[in-house]
Structure formats: structure tokens, C-alpha cells
Structure 1
Amino acid sequence: MTTDDCIIIGGGPAGLTAAIYLARYHLRVRLFDSGSSRAAMIPCTRNHAGYPEGVAGKDLLALMLQQAEKYGVHRQPVRVDKLARDDDGFVIETAQGGFRARAVLLATGVVNHRPAHLLPEVHDPALERGLLRYCPVCDGYEVTDKKVGVIGTGEHGAREALFLRSFTRDVTLIAPEVEHALDPACAAKLDEAGIARVNGPCGNYAIEREQLAFDTARGRMAFDSVYPALGSRIRSHLAIEAGARATDVGCLEVDDHQRTSIPGLFAAGDVVKGLDQISHAMGEAGVAATTIRNMLSEQQPLWR
């Protein structure tokens, strides 16, 4: 079994950025991509610098992969099942067999929690048309002065609704299940901002007259765009099972150079901190890749 200099797990913006950097450092790089990057779900981002007219997530990933492969990155479209540390580095297990590497970068991201009962045949077209959105930092500008619904409650739901209030006056916070769970301080802030509150449960989603409509305790409501504020699942289990430290919610703990608590194991992007920002993930990946290169050089000179 050959040993790669670095194996990257995750084919989103962080993983591909790191792959480009590492390959241009003349290192042997293998990238495992299960095809589940959230960036591929973006119909068009206008928040990414360098694309004045916006760019589709799939197109951006394709360009980044083309650039990585130009420098010799070997991409394998397979999911990694296990990651383990041994005396010589790391062992990766997949359905296609085992692989070895001197260093590993985890760039597996997160998975957004979708509203309950929202079927794929409605979810995906709504996402494609901008009727359903997951990142107000990325695309709040696109809902300027539109009718916006936020599915959520508690501090997290209130915080997202208040953030969106800077883009439009018409914001409604809808509880996902039954009644809202809001403390007096949250409720007061929502009232001050003029944000309406509606109890759930939410259900019977459909695209109606270019809006996303669904049932609530107040009856059927429709919005120009809906933001689920339901949190996410951090895909950090591979590192945690290998012994890496993580926060209570599953974000991997790293230092300023993206090093986890396991020597030789690095992490970048939303698996570290879920900011949902492509530029942030790419920046962390550049830091991680350069640190990996320097670490490997200390172990064994990388002379040409």
C-alpha cells in the first residue's frame, strides 16, 4: 500500500483549496469526495469575490476540481468510513479499500437540518428558485424588501430573524413544531423590531404563485423566501472516533494553524466553525495546507 503525503476528506471549497495548495507544494495528494458538499446546492452565489454576476455552486466546485487535477490531485468519489492513527501516520478505510497518508485534512463540513415534512420534490425546486435559503449572510441582500419567513424558535431562531430584519421589514418567525420557546428578552427584541411570531406546526409545503407556502397555526402562509433556522449536524465523527477533541456541538477544536488535538490531523471549514462562508473555509484551508507542508518538511526534507 502506497503512502500519500496528505489525504483530504471532503470535496467542498475547503478541501479543494487545500488540495490545490498541497499539490503546488509538489506533494502527493489524494482527495476523497462523497459528493455531498453543501456548496453544490447553491443555485447562484453573488457573495463570492471575483464573480460580479454570481456563480453556481456546482460550477465553482468544477472549476476548483479542474485546477486541483491540473496539478496532479487524485480525486476518488467515495465516502470514508474510518480514520485511524498509527505509528507511521494515518490509515483510511473506504468501500474501495484502505489507504495510508502522512497527514490528513478533514474538510467534511456540516449538514443543515431541513424543516420536517418538507419533501425533496418541493425542497429542491424551492432551493433552486431562491424560495428556500439557508444562509442570510450569503444571500440576505437577495431578499431586500421581500416577504420573508424564518422557521425556528428560541435564541437561534430569534437571532436569524433579527439579522434578516436589516434587509426587509416583513419578517415572520414561525415555530417549527407547536408553540414558540422564547424567553422574555428574545420576545422583547422581536417586538421592538416588528417581527411577527406565528406558532406551528409547519406542514403541507408547496410552491404556490412563485412563493413557498405551508400550513401554520394561523392558517396557510406564503413567503417570497423562507429561511430554516434549525441548526445543523457537524460531520466530525471520523475525527472524534479517532480521539480528536470537539466542542459540545461537535465542532473540532483546532489551533491557529488548523491543527486538531491529534498530531498530523488537521481540519478546516465548517467542521471547525459553521460560518457557512466559502471564503472563510478557503482561508482556513490555505493555512492548514501550508502548515501541513511545513510539518512534512520537518519530518523529511522536500528538496527537488
Structure 2
Amino acid sequence: MDDCIIIGGGPAGLTAAIYLSRYHLKIRLFDCGSSRAALIPCTHNHAGYPDGISGLDLLAAMRAQAEQYGTVREAAKVTSLRPIEGGFAARIGDREVRARSVLLATGVINHRPPMPDDVHDAALANGQIRYCPVCDGYEVTDKRVAVYGTGEHGAREALFVRSFTRDVTLIAPDRHDLPPEQIDQLEAAGVVRVEGPATDWRLEQDHILLATPKGPLKFDSLYPALGSHSRSELAVEAGARADPSGCLEVDDHQRTSLPGLFAAGDVAKGLDQISHAMGEAGVAATTIRNMLNAERPLWR
């Protein structure tokens, strides 16, 4: 039986793998290859990389570091997780792997705007579609920016982006659904409101173009503000509690409500940032080590 199974090969999962391997624990990391970090063309927000680093390069460096200390990584998807006596059993294909503890670092999936996949992927690679103004709002300073969404979340994101540029347009997927106080805030900030639907999405040189009932519009960048889906199903099915949004409930040491099951990164409620996910993973890994040591001393 392994000491810990890590599910998820993004920054949180790999940070935990580095910590746990350096604690001389026997761990196994399962990575189905769908980390959101892999989609980052270049981040300038991650400390230590003044010239920026791509998500793929960051993940590759972290994988190499984890494997240097003995992490066993499998490119496979865990399809179920269940508590057993003394730990957990994870199913991968037609086999089960057992461990004394589990760390879930499966992240979330962004809801995408209704555009063709090829247009979306090209726009994301070029910086014409951006998902995180906390990460890269600086890059749209004084540019023409759209926020695609409505309601409290859409308005809040539009007002956040407004601190980087005066030219912000909030585009509704259909009709805007905004309370009067948010309308007042948007108008005071000079955020333009446009009703949807948006169609005919396309790229032209350095811009993203779309059609609306108001007419064609062109922007330097567009932020979808459509929320995300938390990939917490494995933990919930095993018996852990999640909040109404699907994020797992954890304590200050990243322990879920199910003893022995931990969560770190975007799958747990918090700031969706690489640095934050890595910090949570360090806390979780150290708590796992101390828990296992209390059960059976880890003397060498």
C-alpha cells in the first residue's frame, strides 16, 4: 500500500509530490493531462520568472523535480475513489491502487463562450481570450477589452478589469440580468453594456471580432465571465462535503470532511492562482506526513 495517492498533475499536485517524495514517502501521482496551467501561453505573474514562463514549461520543470526525488507518475485517469480500512482505493481502468491517504488536486474546468473550438484555442494562445484578470490584467493595460457574461459575476469581473483600462464592454450571453446597484456601479465606471447573443466569432490580426444585435465589435482581449465546474466528483462520491459551487470544504490544513482525504488548489474554495495552489499543496503534504507519522513512526 502506498503512503499517498495524488490525483491531478497541475501545480498543486506536483508541489505536493515534491514535498512528499522529499519526506521519503511512497507516493503515486495520477495525471490525466488536463491541468488548466498547461493552457497558459506565458505567465508574467508567477514569482521568480521575470521574463515569464509558459504553463507547459512550468509543469515540465515541476514533473522533472518530483521524479528526481522518486515520485511515480502515471499518465492515467482515476475513475473512482472509495474509503477502505486503513486508507483508500483508487480505480484506474481495470485495476485498483491503494494508499493510506489521498490528495485531490483536480482543479476546475472553465465554462467557455459559444465559439468554435479552433477560434477559441487560437485566441487563447494569442492572448485574445484570457480567463484570469488577477493573473494577467496588467497585460491589457489601456487596451480595448470585453467581458463576456452578466449578473453579479460578470459585473464584478468587468469592474475588476476596469482598474487596468478605461475601455471595457460587458457583453451578455443573452440579455443582461443586473440589479440596479450594479448598473449604477458599471455606469459610474464607464463600462459599456451590450446585449447578446454574440455570434460570428473570428480573429483578425491582433483582435477578436464578434457580432451582436448592436452590430460588429472588435477587441484586443476578451474575458469570459461564465464561471467554472469544480472537478470534485471523486471526493464527493467517496463521502467528502462540497459547497454549493462544488468546491470541496477543507480546513486550515487542507483536510476534507473525510479523514485521510485532502484537497489543494482550485478544487478547494479559494483564490484560483498557481502560487496559492502551491502553498496549499505544501500545507497539505506536511499535514499528510505528520498524520502518517502519528499512525506509524516514519523512522528510517
Length-normalised TM-score, structure 1? 0.98
1:85 aligned partner, one-letter code: P
Q: How does 1:246-265 map to 2 (within 5 A)?
A: 246-265=242-261
Structure 2 CA distance, aligned partners of 1:276 and 1:184? 29
- For residue 132 of structure 1, what is the amino acid of its counterpart? I
Write out aligned runs for 1:96-107 (5 A). Answer: 97-107=95-105
Aligned residue for 1:75? 73
Instruction: Report the equivalent of 2:15.
Output: 17
The answer for the alignment partner of 1:189 in structure 2 is 185
The residue that corresponds to 1:92 in the other structure is 90
Q: Look up the match of 1:150.
A: 147
- Aligned twin of 2:34: 36
In the alignment, which residue of structure 2 is the partner of 1:109?
107
Which residue identity is paired with 1:68? A
**1:97 CA displacement:** 1.4
Is 215-224 or 25-34 further displaced after alignment?
215-224
SS in 2 for 1:104: strand
C-alpha separation in 2, matches of 1:255 and 1:44: 32
1:149-168 map, 5 Å: 149-168=146-165
Q: Return the match for 1:134 from 131, 140, 152.
A: 131
Q: Would the aligned equivalents of 1:107 and 1:268 in 2 still touch at CA under 8 Å?
A: yes
Measured against aligned partners, the alpha-carbon deviations of 1:113-168 in whole angstroms (never above 9, x if no partner) come to 0002x111111110011000000000000000000000000010000000000000
Q: Is the 8 A contact 1:23 1:71 kept in 2?
A: yes
Q: TM-score, normalised by structure 2?
A: 0.99
Q: Is the 1:152–1:175 Cα contact (8 Å) retained in structure 2? A: yes
What displacement does 1:276 show? Answer: 2.0
| Residue 88 of structure 1: how far off its partner (Å) | 2.1
Q: For residues 193 and 56 of structure 1, what CA distance do their matches in structure 2 show?
A: 33
Q: 1:232 — aligned with what?
A: 228
2:216 paired residue number:
220
Q: Secondary structure at the match of 1:80?
A: coil
Moved over 6 A (4+): none
Is the CA contact (8 Å cut-off) linking 1:150 and 1:226 kept in structure 2?
A: yes
What stretches of structure 2 of length at least 5 have no aligned partner? none
In the TM superposition, residue 219 of structure 1 has moved relative to its aligned partner by 1.2
Residues matched between the structures, number: 300
Q: CA offsets per residue over residues 238-278 of structure 1, 9 Å max, x none?
A: 00011101101111001110000111000001000252200
Q: Give aligned-pair identity as a percent.
A: 67
- Asked whether 1:280 is paired with 2:276, we answer yes
Read off the aligned partner of 1:225 and give its amino acid letter.
Answer: S
Give, in whole Å, the separation in 2 of the partners of 1:262 and 1:298. Answer: 18
Which residue is 1:267 aligned to? 263
Q: Residue 36 of structure 1: CA displacement?
A: 0.2
Once residues 98 and 301 of structure 1 are traced to their aligned partners in structure 2, the CA distance between those partners, rounded to angstroms, is 26
- Write out aligned runs for 1:167-182 (5 A): 167-176=164-173, 178-182=174-178
